[in-house]
Structure 1
């Protein structure tokens, strides 16, 4: 997703200037992570043996939301139930160290603090053990309600984090109704419980939205139209002014009462990590932005950026204001999915820019490639390179190819100054992508002719231009690989000959040909 750098800079500056007061109310959790290597299986049971290299304990749940809000520049008070056990002590210390006001935490004598302990061996979580707090009593609920009443005085925003671990809507809603902060955000497993609060924003994930609707939303990007179609139901059942449904790798969809269309954000795909709490970060960032009166669309866009930051970190992580700024001021992401590419092409075309499109395997990038890509870039204003995925390369080039996976090939192309955008496609030809983008110019190397390409008819049918650029002889990937193999074979042959010469016995006066029996043993006198 592309977010205006000025938007993020201005928002961070506004938060720093105003220091809004955010109250986090909810289920406090201590996340423990035990990390190590797992190189063998136990003889006692079919389970990996993890050799521990690191153990950490960090705030989780509502406590994670609180430390994220503080890291983004807000003043933060947290209200929740904790035990007087060791986990409660550690959690309070971690929160205080992060700058969160813990004076409104309600400590329950003899109670456990909810703890989630994860053991990670190598790159895989081996087990998660949840030690849950007991059910609060009426006295605990009353103490919590009084703490909420004290904490929300003069607050700019309140966020409720309800994971079904003890915080009850019937205790909190009346208090927030009496002294309502400027913004109320709810992140809850069961949002229907909080409908009476009439939140300004609720943040269900796809599973929570499906449970609220009582129907499946599908999978992957198919969830987006399903969420938009459910707009009226989601708003009615949550009682909220706006709903943003988080869809993990597919970003989010924001629905509000002023528009029938959803506002979409797109996540930046990240490699699989042992991550936890990206939803807490998203909720915290959106709340802090709304606390300084940012428009709803801007708040959600910045929250997506914050979530993108933490999913690249292992464990339960925090996005600071500094990390947020770095993420948007770093060089633009060049490798994009098809939806992002379509948006970028549309923006370029509206700005009067000429779009040039080419495609290929680009398995081993060489002079032939770079020459033709520079020539292609000169034909327009925006050069898009579509890259065959690994399966389609195997179908086209044989089982030994590609030599480099799609992620590496895309990274190399993205580093070229002449390339503006790179995307990966799975079909044998890029025709479906060409039909969607309708580039003004379609380019291929001069080792082809227009008549050889199935794409030619498609491009010419909508009025596009097909251009063949110069071919650089002996610089195809096949030729480069052939030369590498020939050089390797020659080096191996030379090494073999040298080894044979070294193995030959040296000549002596007694044996001038150096041909003594290799099995003869000389015994000194």
Structure 2
């Protein structure tokens, strides 16, 4: 497969690379975008609190004599990289060239953790191992599928000499990196000297993408990061407010966009909202949502590390920010369905996205699903279009449509319908590819295909609460408006982005000469 990213000039800034996503998607290869990261193999340095996770499982057949507590007879022990080390392992699994810079003990746990990192292909040259330090461990004790207890072993303070040794490693560790990820879990190892060393390197080497994943993102404002990734609680702490999980937390943090950006001094804030996905808040009102595909309760850990790793790898490889965010959400969805601390590989992510290739629902099946959603009190939003070559205008529009209700249904024109609308040389992507790409977006719940010239027949059956349409229309111009209003729904006209169009993307692709040759 020709790597579309390699057709871009090497010195193109990430912000100017929106065409990279378009070039991949025009071939109907949304599921192959993760391979672009591995092909580019960006260099990423992870600086942070490395931990060892343990999962000890066994059986319970009796209670102990000393107290009314169950006795777990441990039959199996598994270990995994945790914290910043888990971020590093996930980056390596996606094809990045990774250096781990952190502080661990010269103890059994530290040696085991270094071995896990080495086996994953992470460069541990800058992983400082000090006999005066205890490696942070988090051991879960399980009986069956139930976590009975978690044992955390953390240090009570770090020697100044050990922190100084870590700070001394920073210049060499981050030099030449395409991205630097700071994973600060509040151990104290990254305070003072280490933070100052990173801030100096950010000034000297501004070309790297800097991502901060910290309990206190505001504490890293001097770094002027490109992206910070607080969770809901951490964002609330920065803002000095309380976020109620029963309310629209995305709207609450979006309303304080300016305050979050100012407090963190970041170019972009991505607030992770666990089961509610994420919200991206950028300058000039930029906003993008992702929507999680939550699992039934499993004993999963580290999905946030996977999210940060995937987001960083994609940005370091030059993928657009919104594409990177959607990929990161997909990667988190992969690991949250697995027990224990796990990683998402390129193959895992590709397979996850490819499963959406045949997800267009027949009308009868769609109606059954929507009926169940409506019975649960959910508002149904319907929109339609060709969506031939997915671009940023499309994703912005679909995110806006999702926010009009609870369930977003996207109806795609079949191939004959696209030809009638766009001409004999369209569609570029056949319906199977178009459906797979749209279904893989986290904001989309259901995809269906229609063959009629208008959507009126489907509207009559589906009876949406909201019919969303993008473009320079008014509700009065749409043939579907009377049908929507007759079933008690309303029409919503969303933003029109004239500089983002399929025709413009196709024109740009056709004007781009192939790598190493003439057009």
TM-score, structure 2 normalization = 0.65
**Cα offsets for 1:296-338 (capped at 9, x unmatched):** 1111110000000000110111000000000010146677978
Distance 1:250 1:242 in 2: 19
Residue of 299, 303, 306 corresponding to 1:278: 303
Could you tell me how far 1:139 is from its partner in structure 2?
Answer: 2.2
Distance 2:121 2:484 in 1: 62
Distance 2:232 2:61 in 1: 36
Instruction: Please say if 1:80 is aligned against 2:102.
Output: yes
Could you tell me how far 1:111 is from its partner in structure 2?
Answer: 1.8
Residue of 134, 153, 159 corresponding to 1:137: 159
Compared CA separation, residues 42 and 291, structure 1 to 2 (3 A): same
Partner of 2:88: 66
Partner of 1:200: 226
Could you tell me how far 1:107 is from its partner in structure 2?
Answer: 1.2
Asked if the contact 1:111–1:134 (Cα under 8 Å) also holds between the matched residues in 2, the reply is: no
Could you tell me how far 1:436 is from its partner in structure 2?
Answer: 2.0
**Cα offsets for 1:63-107 (capped at 9, x unmatched):** 000000000000000000011001000000000000000011111
Distance 1:64 1:151 in 2: 18
Could you tell me how far 1:7 is from its partner in structure 2?
Answer: 6.2
Distance 1:95 1:180 in 2: 28
Could you tell me how far 1:202 is from its partner in structure 2?
Answer: 0.6
Compared CA separation, residues 222 and 43, structure 1 to 2 (3 A): farther
Compared CA separation, residues 350 and 305, structure 1 to 2 (3 A): closer
Instruction: Say what the alpha-carbon RMSD is for the aligned residues.
Output: 3.3
Compared CA separation, residues 180 and 143, structure 1 to 2 (3 A): farther
5+ residue gaps, structure 1, are 352-379, 383-417, 422-432, 440-458, 466-525
Instruction: Please say if 1:249 is aligned against 2:275.
Output: yes
Partner of 1:360: none
Partner of 2:287: 262
* Greater relative contact order structure (CA < 8 Å, 6+ sep): 2
Distance 1:92 1:19 in 2: 22
Could you tell me how far 1:178 is from its partner in structure 2?
Answer: 2.5
Residue of 336, 339, 347 corresponding to 2:384: 347
> Where in structure 2 are the equivalents of 1:36-47 lying within 5 Å?
36-38=58-60, 40-47=62-69
3-state secondary structure, aligned to 1:81: strand
Could you tell me how far 1:350 is from its partner in structure 2?
Answer: 9.1
Give the structure with higher Rg (CA).
1
Partner of 2:339: 314
Partner of 1:436: 465
Asked if the contact 1:220–1:250 (Cα under 8 Å) also holds between the matched residues in 2, the reply is: no
Compared CA separation, residues 438 and 242, structure 1 to 2 (3 A): closer
The range that moved more, 248-257 or 45-54, is 45-54
The range that moved more, 30-39 or 109-118, is 30-39
Could you tell me how far 1:9 is from its partner in structure 2?
Answer: 3.9
Partner of 2:210: 184
Residue of 12, 18, 22 corresponding to 2:40: 18
Could you tell me how far 1:218 is from its partner in structure 2?
Answer: 1.6
Compared CA separation, residues 50 and 460, structure 1 to 2 (3 A): same
Compared CA separation, residues 7 and 187, structure 1 to 2 (3 A): farther
5+ residue gaps, structure 2, are 1-23, 362-368, 389-411, 415-445, 450-461, 469-481, 489-519
Compared CA separation, residues 6 and 80, structure 1 to 2 (3 A): farther
> Where in structure 2 are the equivalents of 1:74-223 lying within 5 Å?
74-165=96-187, 166-168=189-191, 169-220=195-246, 222-223=248-249
3-state secondary structure, aligned to 2:343: coil
Asked if the contact 1:25–1:160 (Cα under 8 Å) also holds between the matched residues in 2, the reply is: yes
Distance 2:447 2:59 in 1: 40
Could you tell me how far 1:46 is from its partner in structure 2?
Answer: 2.8
Could you tell me how far 1:6 is from its partner in structure 2?
Answer: 4.7
Could you tell me how far 1:119 is from its partner in structure 2?
Answer: 0.8
Could you tell me how far 1:167 is from its partner in structure 2?
Answer: 1.6
Distance 2:303 2:350 in 1: 18
Could you tell me how far 1:159 is from its partner in structure 2?
Answer: 0.3
Asked if the contact 2:198–2:223 (Cα under 8 Å) also holds between the matched residues in 1, the reply is: no
The range that moved more, 276-285 or 165-174, is 165-174
The range that moved more, 27-36 or 135-144, is 135-144
Compared CA separation, residues 381 and 103, structure 1 to 2 (3 A): closer
Residue of 471, 486, 489 corresponding to 1:463: 486
Distance 1:7 1:256 in 2: 27
TM-score, structure 1 normalization = 0.65
Partner of 2:507: none
Instruction: Please say if 1:227 is aligned against 2:264.
Output: no
3-state secondary structure, aligned to 2:294: coil
Distance 1:266 1:254 in 2: 12
Distance 2:70 2:385 in 1: 52
**Cα offsets for 1:20-70 (capped at 9, x unmatched):** 100000000000111123455444323233232321111000000000000
> Where in structure 2 are the equivalents of 1:30-41 lying within 5 Å?
30-38=52-60, 40-41=62-63
Compared CA separation, residues 150 and 460, structure 1 to 2 (3 A): closer
Compared CA separation, residues 345 and 84, structure 1 to 2 (3 A): same
Distance 1:326 1:45 in 2: 48
Asked if the contact 2:382–2:467 (Cα under 8 Å) also holds between the matched residues in 1, the reply is: no
Partner of 1:302: 327
**Cα offsets for 1:348-379 (capped at 9, x unmatched):** 6999xxxxxxxxxxxxxxxxxxxxxxxxxxxx
Could you tell me how far 1:347 is from its partner in structure 2?
Answer: 3.4
Matched residue pairs, number? 370
